[in-house]
Amino acid sequence: MSITVQAAGATGLTAAEVEQRRRDGLTNDVPDRASRSVRDIVRANVFTRINAILGVLFILVLSTGSIIDGMFGLLIVANSAVGIIQEVRAKRTLDQLAIVSQARPTVRRDGVAHEVAPKDVVLDDLIELGPGDQIVVDGVVEESALLEIDESLLTGEADPIDKAIGAEVMSGSYVVSGSGAYRATKVGRDAYAAKLAEEASKFTLVHSELRSGIDKILKFITYLLIPAGLLSIYNQLFSSGESWRPAVTGMVAALVPMVPEGLVLMTSIAFAVGVVRLGRRQCLVQELPAIEGLARVDVVCADKTGTLTENGMRLSDLEIIDGFDDGEVRKALAAMAGDDPRPNASVQAIAEELTDRPGWQHTAVAPFSSAKKWSGFSYGEHGDWLLGAPDVLLDPGSEEARTAEELGSSGLRVLLLARSDRPVDAPDAPGAVRPAALVVLEQKIRPDARDTLDYFASQDVSIKVISGDNAVSVGAVASSLDLPGGDHAVDARRLPEDREQLADVLEHETTFGRVRPDQKRAMVGALQSRGHTVAMTGDGVNDVLALKDSDIGVAMGAGSPATRAVAQIVLLDNKFATLPYVVGEGRRVIGNIERVSNLFLTKTVYSVLLAFLVGLAGVGSQIFDYEPIGYPFLPRHVTIAAWFTIGIPAFILSLAPNNERARTGFVSRVMRLAIPSGVVIGVATFVAYLIAYAGPEASETQKEQAGTTALITLIMIAVWVLAIVARPYVWWKVVLIAASTGAYIVLFTVPFTREFFKLDPSNVALTTSAFICGAIGIVLVEAIWWISAALHGERRRLIPATPGGSA
């Protein structure tokens, strides 16, 4: 089929017409990235449920006149400020990287084609198209040369659709093969995909196992807070026998530690910091949960070209086949390379080497597609020429096919130049093929590819090399990188269609060649059917369907706009070696949030249990007529108890190195460790308080001593929980635990801090009993954690790391 062009408007809009449309507001005014505004970020971090609860309790404490006991109110400021700062940083990083990564359409104006930003497209612009180009606005086709559009991302229709002149095209689709141009008929928010894109690209922290797990935990905590809170309120205001001011402060002291105020904050910070860190490595995370998702991946499907090998190629040799003249072959190759409007890497290498164009006029064209594996031009009296895969165009038993396979087995890329007996756009093309020359191209293996594959192997992540190239050539590259199975690459044309049978092959084989786009997609689905979490890397339009269906799609920044549009992660530096850093960042986020969750939830459990025990004791005093009991702590006590056992350590641990492999079962793992630890702390603290409690008529000194006794017990066991959560140890973790312990020693021994925080450890007998209760609690917590770890195969987390290692 020859290229057909609609004459009217073939030169595109004039500069004056473009300017007039801009003045009329007929521009593609969709935001570059629909991220939350700074105002929305501030509102979301300030007006939270946790801040509302703490705010009400803060006002109640202030009403008693005890400003010092309202120190926990600083948590509102800290929660909001830190969350706002980190999310704004992450927003700016994402927005800047998204601008670099965005598809830039080629617009023809005044007869000259040049790239513009999507927002600079105006109504009636003439936009040129080639393979891999994303359609950025709705329009009508004005020029078509075998133009095929894939609309699967919008309609679910998997087969490419032929687009002749006059056909409509929709934004969000992309070009599979052929070339052409279309006129923009709907721009901005009127375009079909604008609303979908606006929703899909929002800065979000939801839809991840980690976030949903935390939501489940918070829901469980809410169910506990209601009865515990009501019981505490009743006990302090009606049963304790105290005046209203100490009753209210005791009630607030009971309620404040029940709220896991920093858990959501730390999760948000960990994700946001991850985005900023990866941004510095030129890695655009288009969906934040992808950081977490890639950390859970156990299979990486990597395309060969552009991933394991460099994008650029070099023409190495031309092996002329008998019957053809070297000059004729070179003229044909030069003509085809020069006439290709959107050359791929192979054609570009030919064009750079053969610059002497013969000036032939083509009468028909057949663009390259992944399905047929060849392209062609008809040049009238100069013949009908094909350029494509030797194993597709040649008889497998021919001498030329064997020669091509031998060359491919050494890692070279081999194409066949051949003549056909019919026009290349004939329905039955290519017809009878007469081989003219083997075109030998060199591909450079990325210098960092071996180290990257070694890293994944050390992390028990399987690599599957899936390529459209000749299986022998793919196997040669895989073998040179010492990838297991590379020496017996599988030709995908012989793969079974049945998903179960395909999954069986994929479980044992690692290297595949001649894989069609639909097969890449089927391979991803087959791996997922066996419970694998699959990441797909790619840069070509033939990778789009597989990228879309994989758990995590990773596109190269230099790849086609279509691949960048569907991928969750874009490697803007085009380095496959960046992936280990993304995996490491995800593991750091997940592992650290799990550690931090243990600390916060342990505090919630012991706070709820302590409130229940004190409340039930108060209710029992009315039923059985014994002396009522009040809450042991002031709000300032629960504040300092959290400072060095949770607050500061949790912040440090959330940002620390962590290479533990991500595992499912986050909620059950956290709960089975936090609940027994919290129970031990709650019971031990209550027992210590009962030992020291001198009744409601006790002096202020006796009340301070009783509260101090309970606080010492609580802090001792809580610091030990911190020590367990921090395992395995490295030097900075030892320093962190020692600093926390030292800080509490200062608080309890320095006269000023003792007086300021109403601490009195001067009663040797009571302080000794506190240490005994604390020691018993430490033994119980340690025993519980070791038993749990042994039962669930997690003892490795409790064993110290090797010197200089990190967790």
Instruction: List residues with catalytic annotation.
Output: 303
Give, for 118, the enclosing helix (H) or strand (E): none
Our CA angle for 560, 562, 564, nearest 5°, is: 75
- CB 779: neighbour CB atoms within 10 A? 13
Distance CA 678, CA 687 (A): 14
Instruction: Using alpha carbons, select from 281, 262, 144, 288 the residue that is nearest to residue 586.
Output: 288
Q: The sheet that has 552-556: what strands, in order across it?
A: 283-285, 569-571, 552-556, 534-538, 299-302, 462-466, 511-513, 490-491
Distance CA 516, CA 502 (A): 14
Residue with tokens 């269609």: 497
Quote helix, strand, coil % in the chain, to nearest 5: 55, 15, 30
| All residues at 6 or more sequence positions from 433 whose CB lies less than 8 Å from its CB, including other chains | 386, 393, 394, 418, 419, 420
Distance CA 539, CA 516 (A): 15
Per the CB < 8 A criterion, the answer to whether 315 and 349 are in contact is yes
Q: What is the 3-state secondary structure (H, E, C) of 272-290?
A: HHHHHHHHHCCEEECCCHH
Per the CB < 8 A criterion, the answer to whether 174 and 395 are in contact is no
Query: Token pair for residue 719?
Result: 């610091």
The dihedral through the CA atoms of 728, 731, 736, 742 has a sign that is positive
Distance CA 30, CA 189 (A): 6
Distance CA 552, CA 785 (A): 34
Torsions phi, psi for 738 (to 5 deg): -65, -40
Torsions phi, psi for 271 (to 5 deg): -65, -45
Q: Per DSSP, which regions of 500-641 are E strands?
A: 511-513, 534-538, 552-556, 569-571
